[in-house]
Structure 1
Amino acid sequence: MGNQFFTLKSKNVTRLFLSCWGCFFLLLGMLSCPACGSRDQEVLATIGKRQITRKQLEERIKQYRTTFSHAAPQENSTPAKLERFFLDQMIEETLLEMEGRRRGLADRDDAPQEIIRKTMIALGQGISYPSRQEALTYYQKHKASYRVPQRYSITQILVADEHLAWELKEKIEKHQLTMAEAARKYSLGEESAGGGQVEPMELHDFLPEIAKVIPHLKPAQLSPVIHSPYGYHLVRLEQVLPAGVLPFSAAENKVKDELYARKLRKHFNQWLTEAKIRYQVVIQPPLLEAVNEK
């Protein structure tokens, strides 16, 4: 079913920590070693004895454009800004790798990406996950940020066979089987373990085939069999949630994740500022300008 029926509530702090770097961590797959350029290449930046050359920067940008060829350009983005973004990114990667080696986190066969991953985890280990009280205090001050539009809460069953779907519908309507029992036993959906319950979502977040049916259902009403590219669905409308501010009980995990991400970013930025001094980062402005003009 993909992500069409799920809203992530991260409870895995390590996974959340890694996700907070967003595109930065995704782009680690394109990592090139800043120390590998030849000395006769123009040097755009030095990190201690390591160098980032014009050629390496151009290769990084080329890799990005190849990998994300269909990505829409960001608003107010210019070639100069993109090039500076990638140069800063390469500097950060180098600093993280050097820090990991300094801390003894690198095994002999570790690729730079793995050393960076270990360093990022190590940097986040001292950051505490927000308490309920921290989250509640923040929520009370920023309630407007947790306003949501009208949403629908449903239970669903997904099967591969149309005949089975109609058979289950008949048994549920005759009270020979509950919706939850049928979902746990027969449903192919990822929500089956929870009895088929799906997190409340806006209408447009559902599959189009299901979104067409939901507004015509009354609470507790079971839909006809719905066919989609994924199979055959039975949907029961549980509740229509009006637009308004999410109660804290529903927003708590989201608030905690947001606060934790802020703590991580703040801590990382502080470390980055200190690391640039410790590892003697120097950017060569004239050469960078030459790259920007290309």
Structure 2
Amino acid sequence: MKRFLLLPVIVGFIIVTFPVVILAEDSSTVLATAGNLKITQEDLDESLKVYSTEIQNAVKANRQLQQKFLQRLVELELFSSIAREKGIDRIPAVKKRMEILVNDFLSKELLSREVVDKIKVSEEDMKQYYKANAEQFKKPEEVKARHILIKVKRDASEDEKKAARKKAEEILSKIKKGEDFASLAEKFSDDPGSAKRGGDLGFFSRGRMVKPFEDAAFSLKPGEVSGIVETRFGYHIIKVEEKKPASIQPFEAVKDTIKNELIKKVQNEKVKEYVQRVMKERKVKLYPERIKMN
């Protein structure tokens, strides 16, 4: 089974259940069968090569993705086989579309081999880009916090607002007496997203939260608990657990990103030059004025 040409154009997973065999080390190991169809580890590995390195690594590192990819490959082979049995591939309009897809793939493969793969980016080029674009790799200050929200409706009456604030003050009093913040958040917080995690909001930077909440959180030191903070959502009690100062990501951490960025910049110009050269060598002539308009 060696037909992988059209794999990239299949978008999404078709929901069909097939028996899935866990991936094996031996390249000859059969991973799936359907009638005369047989897919081996080698087939799966080859089909993965049409995707980017990032996708390949993600699939190889995740058992669930491996199984989904195998099912996708089975679907592709099985359904295309059925289509051929029914003569769908011999319908003129279908043949033309298949030809376009094949030509598109071959064109990209040619440009990849003749242009993109030959582009080299040196370590020095990457370091110069890193130094010249330091702001691009800046990580803003972040804070890790928990909170307890006592929700107040936008159309709440004054009595309802007073009752909500009183409840928040009672909870704050419990915290000051030493009761566990996370347990109180789980019990009393009206924020369904964080309450079940003990009010944990994880790390966030400025601009992620409403202003009064943000100002309070970033003014606290790790371990400190705020007073009652009012926002449009209601009354909050915030506990900061950790802070990360603003920093520049190290070169090694962004090296691949820089390399890809530099390749993209060079690639566009190199591809343009290649296309122009080939068009000239092959004496291509275009007659756009002859295009029939609907």
Q: One fold, TM greater than 0.5?
A: no
Q: Aligning the two structures, in what range does the TM-score lie when normalised by the shorter sequence?
A: 0.3 to 0.5
TM-score, with length taken from structure 2: 0.37
Which structure has the larger Rg? 2
Q: Which has the higher contact order (CA 8 A, sep 6+)?
A: 1
